[in-house]
Amino acid sequence: MERSAIEKWPPLPLDAWEDTYATLHMWTQIVGKTRLALAATVNHWWQVPLYVSACGLTTSPMPCGARTFEVEFDFLDHLLRLRTSEGATRTLALRPRSVADFYREYQEVLRSLDLEVRIRPVPVEVVRATPFAEDREHAAYDPEAVQRCFRALVQIDRVLKEFRGRFQGKCSPVHFFWGSFDLACTRFSGRSAPIHPGGAPNCPDYVMREAYSHECISAGWWPGGGGMREAAFYAYAYPEPAALPQAAILPRGGHYNRDLREFILPYEAVRTAPDPDEALLSFLQSTYQAAADLAGWDRAALERRNTLPEEPWAQRRN
């Protein structure tokens, strides 16, 4: 494999940055809850995720009364940057500090910009939901590890967007859900789904019922944790067709995890593949096709056929 490909897809062993990951997870929840508090409701909670930006993760512009502001994690300069539509800017250094201190300092920055935001100051989708103001356990920040995670997100975001472009039915943006700390994209058949049973830790069941109100096939990536001790790509369908666990998928290394009820492909298998883009796209496409065919989706109507002429200057850039 070329050295440049390995550098684009950096190693991200969970053991090497697990404490930083746990702290950063809580920090993104604090900022993400700001968007939840302010953004107008959109189906499946599409108003709450963050997005990969040129330097990190951003809320995108959020309304606050007649004003607009944006919060961005800059993982290159290691700053949390807030900008308002009047041109005011504030920054908060990303460095080792407890979640409690980050939460207090973030609230102070909001107040300095006359931004009134009320959030429920308790994390979601985690087993131990320590209130932000009391969390002094999580206080690590390794800038090199965070940059490796960001570099991985840049590549994954790019490939997921290419995959998203193949679908013309209802499809989510490629977005970062701070509750579970994963980057995901979800396709929909257009049909309603059975009521979701819920059950996510420290998360009301109505959240999952809204997220899965319609039939969907979702795919994404997360750094690992819980029963998964490595970063991995995943794909699943809701509701799950009965024969889906037996479906053949690509590439080699992809498999169905019966505990998670998801297809899994280790990040390391993609990172070290001769062509990481192709390896990931084959996983995304093969898992989607298996689920869509078994669920009886109208693929001919939902999938985009490339009928546009390619411009002479257009070329794929890896």
Per-residue pLDDT of the chain (318 residues; tens, 9 = 90+): 445 555 799 999 999 999 999 999 999 999 999 999 999 999 999 999 999 999 999 999 999 999 999 999 999 999 999 999 999 999 999 999 999 999 999 999 999 999 999 999 999 999 999 999 999 999 999 999 999 999 999 999 999 999 999 999 999 999 999 999 999 999 999 999 999 999 999 999 999 999 999 999 999 999 998 778 999 999 999 999 999 999 999 999 999 999 999 999 999 999 999 999 999 999 999 999 999 999 999 999 999 987 556 554 444 444
Sign for the CA dihedral angle at 90, 84, 142, 100 comes to positive
Contact 193, 239 (CB under 8 A): yes
pLDDT in tens, 247-290: 999 999 999 999 999 999 999 999 999 999 999 999 999 999 99
Q: Specify the DSSP class assigned to residue 170.
A: S
Separation between Cα atoms, residue 76 and residue 78, nearest integer Å: 5
Q: Is 93 helix (H, G, I), strand (E, B) or coil?
A: strand
List residues bridging with 52 in a β-sheet. Answer: 57
Q: Which two tokens stand for residue 26?
A: 């809580």
pLDDT of residue 313: 42
Find the length of the chain: 318
* Domain range summary for the chain, segments of one domain joined by +: 17-134, 143-302
Long-range contacts of 89-98 (CB under 8 A, 24+ apart): 94/27, 94/141, 94/143, 94/146, 95/141, 96/139, 96/140, 96/141, 97/139, 97/141, 98/135, 98/136, 98/137, 98/138, 98/139
pTM assigned to the model: 0.94
Got the DSSP string for 102-161? HHHHHHHHHHHTT-------S--SSSS---GGG--S-----HHHHHHHHHHHHHHHHHHH
Contacts of 160 (CB under 8 A, 6+ apart): 174, 183, 184, 185, 219, 220, 284
